[in-house]
Chains A and B, each alone.
Chain A
Amino acid sequence: MPDLASPHGATILVVDDDADIRDLILGQLQQENYRLLGAANLAELRRYLKEEPIDLIVLDLNLPDGDGLSLCRELRAEGAEVQIIMVTARGSAIDRVLGLELGADDYLTKPFEPRELLVRIRNLLRRGRHDPAPRAGMMRYAQFGPWRLDLQQRRLIAPDDRLVMLSSAEFRLLNRFLEEPNVVLARETLLPERRATAAFDRSIDLQVSRLRQKLAAIPGGDELILTVRGEGYVLASGVAYS
């Protein structure tokens, strides 16, 4: 079923040295309205890059004539605008964090659900390379007040390097605050997935209070997240990335 939201005519290059997998992926993608190319190694990939305007590369990292990582880094160094979805086998030395750090836009482990690949390609193409890239890929730490937040491992780091763990919900919430420091955020913007009921939802208050409790565990950590009566919450601190 063709997805109306997908940009038509985008060119996608699938790079995998396993001919079967390459053809099967290409076969899957044919359901959508993309222009498809396949490459078995880095040499072919480079040739295509020179000859064709390519929007997105599905890149397997283990290629016979070199690894995809250095290529990825090279392309980014050249300032190439092409989007890259990295595909690796689970348990290889490259994990998601490293992959994203080295300039991939997304990351999948083999064996993957074919549908998932489709969804990710669609999302990446829609977002476009010109949008601000997700911060997590570029920056590792966000410093606010006495705390540092490890954006990749999703942990809080106290000034004495002690780690305080966050639940996924708390991390999302804190991340939302960090995106817009010193701005009052209404409940519904803090929990977009519950937008409809956010105004009455107490669970957001509960989560904020839990997060506050964790932040208040060290001196200077209290009063980081303030309540603005009738409006929402605000992170009262500057944020520095490193």
Chain B
Amino acid sequence: MRAFFGTMAGQIFLILTVGMSVAAIIALLVAEQARHHDFERVRRQRVVASALDIATRLRRDPEGVEAMMAAHNIIGAYPAPEGVALSESDADLEKALMDRIGLQSQPEAGQVPVGLCFPGHEGQKDRAAGLIGAPRPDCWIVRFTDIGGQRRAMALTFPRIAKPPSTIFNPLYLLVIIVASAGLAILVARFVAKPLRRLERAAEAFSLSLDPEDVPETGPEEVRAALSTFNLMQRRARAGFAERTQLLAAISHDLQTPLTRLRLRLELVENVELRERLLADHQAMQTLVREGLDLASSTEAREEWSLIDIDSLLASMAEDAQDLGQPVRFVSGCGGNVRVKPNALTRCIGNLVDNAVKYGGCAQVSCARANGRLMIHVRDTGPGIPADQIDQMFEPFTRGPSGQPGGRNGTGIGLTIARSLAMSFEASVRLRNAEEGGLVATIDIKG
């Protein structure tokens, strides 16, 4: 759960769900307020309409209407009881009345408890059957001055309108809001996280392989822009790398002509001792050139991918090395097949085996599968490498310590070539010191 909210999708989910729920609830509250306001307005309009009606009648027939009111012959309009103070006069209502009756009217209006309207009729409702608990009418006191200068006062009653109950705190509504927000949030989080995942996969492929495919530039504009920038970076990095190896290849390649001349001329040296030494020097130079070319060609992943029987490869390599008298053993296999570039893998293992024999005295090759990966271990029984120097060993021209057997003799690019070869089939090479002593080189392949 914690991990989920640590992801971007989780955070987007959280922000959107909470944010949208809060926004929806606030909007509902505002709507509720507006509804309340409208409700009050409708109630006041009733009062205004009724007051105007009475005012018009009074103008036409003041005595008659007053008598009817006093006798309770008009339903909903009665003479106002004396001595009732309007404790809370309704300013909005007064303004509406002033607009309709006239500026001189100086209206006063307000709602009062229904008991005050009919002081003498307290027990009246007891006389009606079935009305217990029925809503009592609303009662409004309205006073104004009519055109004739006469101050009028009346009590207006209306059946109570019950305001429909508020829906906002209904749990069903809240549930719908939260579920809808969460659903939308999940969609958005997925939508946003998807291109990032693609980019991440592409970056991973780039870190493992020197020759990764371009990422397809699809999706929304910003995503396309990011992917296209990534592809550009990838191409530039590759171009820079290619330039470096081309340079190395060109130098190594061109050195071969003078080396050929030198080799042929060495045949003309008659002093045997001198010739032997020169031949050894020539041999050293030639090895360097060859490994330089190997390094350059190792980065060119031209070879086709193939499925190979991994045990047959390890067994046959060990056998070939034994035929040459090298102490190489194939200890344990792992069965099955693996998709690699076979020649690159062969040369990669070959380099590690050569190193093991040269620096560690022997090589034990084994293979193991774990977590969907296949590991080829090449173990020696030599002194190993100090832990702080292990990473350096992959740098070109780094050799084992000179005190070691074989140290200072190689060119120091064997491991660099091995790693570069491994990258060409999306594998990696690691070194570690074994607990029982000796160094273990591991090729870690997918599958």
Question: In the complex, are the beta carbons of A110 and B306 less than 8 A apart?
Answer: no
A241 sits at the interface (CB 8 A):
no
Choice from B252, B282, B297, B323 contacting A168 with Cβ under 8 Å: B323
Map CB proximity to B onto A146-166 as digits: 1 under 8 Å, 0 otherwise: 000000010110001111111
User: Do most interface residues of chain B lie in helix, strand or loop, or is the interface mixed?
Assistant: helix
Taking the nearest CB of chain A, how far is it from the CB of B79, in angstroms? 108
Taking the nearest CB of chain B, how far is it from the CB of A23, in angstroms? 9
A167 sits at the interface (CB 8 A):
yes
Contacts of B308 in A (CB 8 A): 162-165
Contacts of B313 in A (CB 8 A): 165
A73 sits at the interface (CB 8 A):
no
Taking the nearest CB of chain A, how far is it from the CB of B370, in angstroms? 22
| CA gap between A93 and B83 in the complex, in Å | 118
B257 sits at the interface (CB 8 A):
yes
Contacts of B289 in A (CB 8 A): 90
Contacts of B282 in A (CB 8 A): 111
Question: In the complex, are the beta carbons of B263 and A111 less than 8 A apart?
Answer: yes
Choice from B256, B259, B316, B343 contacting A167 with Cβ under 8 Å: B316
A169 sits at the interface (CB 8 A):
yes
| CA gap between A162 and B313 in the complex, in Å | 12
Contacts of A89 in B (CB 8 A): 253, 256-257
Q: Which of B256, B306, B316, B342 has the most CB of A within 10 A?
A: B316
Choice from A27, A91, A110, A114 contacting B257 with Cβ under 8 Å: A110
Contacts of B253 in A (CB 8 A): 89-92
B228 sits at the interface (CB 8 A):
no
Contacts of A155 in B (CB 8 A): 342
Contacts of A52 in B (CB 8 A): none
| CA gap between A177 and B254 in the complex, in Å | 43
B315 sits at the interface (CB 8 A):
yes
Taking the nearest CB of chain A, how far is it from the CB of B443, in angstroms? 15
A189 sits at the interface (CB 8 A):
no
| CA gap between A30 and B268 in the complex, in Å | 13
User: Do most interface residues of chain A lie in helix, strand or loop, or is the interface mixed?
Assistant: mixed
B277 sits at the interface (CB 8 A):
no
Residues facing A in B231-276 (CB within 8 A) are 249, 252-253, 256-257, 259-265, 267-268
Residues facing B in A54-104 (CB within 8 A) are 89-92
B312 sits at the interface (CB 8 A):
yes
A170 sits at the interface (CB 8 A):
yes
Given contacts A110-B257, A168-B323, contact A91 B316 (CB under 8 A): no
Question: In the complex, are the beta carbons of B316 and A170 less than 8 A apart?
Answer: yes
| CA gap between A217 and B256 in the complex, in Å | 44
Question: In the complex, are the beta carbons of A161 and B252 less than 8 A apart?
Answer: no
Residues facing B in A126-180 (CB within 8 A) are 153, 155-156, 160-170
Contacts of B263 in A (CB 8 A): 111-114
Cβ-closest chain A residue relative to B285: A111
B154 sits at the interface (CB 8 A):
no
Question: In the complex, are the beta carbons of B309 and A217 less than 8 A apart?
Answer: yes
B296 sits at the interface (CB 8 A):
yes
A25 sits at the interface (CB 8 A):
yes
B97 sits at the interface (CB 8 A):
no
Taking the nearest CB of chain B, how far is it from the CB of A153, in angstroms? 8
Choice from B259, B316, B323 contacting A165 with Cβ under 8 Å: B316
Question: In the complex, are the beta carbons of B323 and A21 less than 8 A apart?
Answer: no
A18 sits at the interface (CB 8 A):
yes
Question: In the complex, are the beta carbons of A28 and B264 less than 8 A apart?
Answer: yes
Contacts of A110 in B (CB 8 A): 256-257, 259-260
A20 sits at the interface (CB 8 A):
yes
Taking the nearest CB of chain A, how far is it from the CB of B447, in angstroms? 13
Question: In the complex, are the beta carbons of A164 and B309 less than 8 A apart?
Answer: yes
Given contacts A111-B256, A165-B312, A166-B316, contact A90 B293 (CB under 8 A): yes
| CA gap between A28 and B267 in the complex, in Å | 8
B92 sits at the interface (CB 8 A):
no
Contacts of B262 in A (CB 8 A): 111
Contacts of A161 in B (CB 8 A): 306-307
A214 sits at the interface (CB 8 A):
yes
Question: In the complex, are the beta carbons of B323 and A167 less than 8 A apart?
Answer: yes
Question: In the complex, are the beta carbons of B312 and A21 less than 8 A apart?
Answer: no
For this complex, 25 residue pairs linking A to B, each with C-beta atoms less than 8 Å apart, are A18-B260, A24-B261, A24-B267, A25-B264, A90-B290, A91-B297, A110-B260, A111-B262, A112-B260, A112-B263, A114-B263, A153-B343, A155-B342, A160-B307, A161-B307, A162-B308, A162-B309, A162-B337, A163-B309, A163-B342, A164-B308, A166-B312, A169-B320, A169-B323, A217-B309
The 5 closest A-B pairs by CB, nearest first: A24-B264, A167-B316, A91-B293, A167-B319, A111-B260
B interface, CB within 8 angstroms of A: 249, 252-253, 256-257, 259-265, 267-268, 282, 286, 289-290, 293, 296-297, 306-309, 312-313, 315-317, 319-320, 323, 337, 342-343, 346
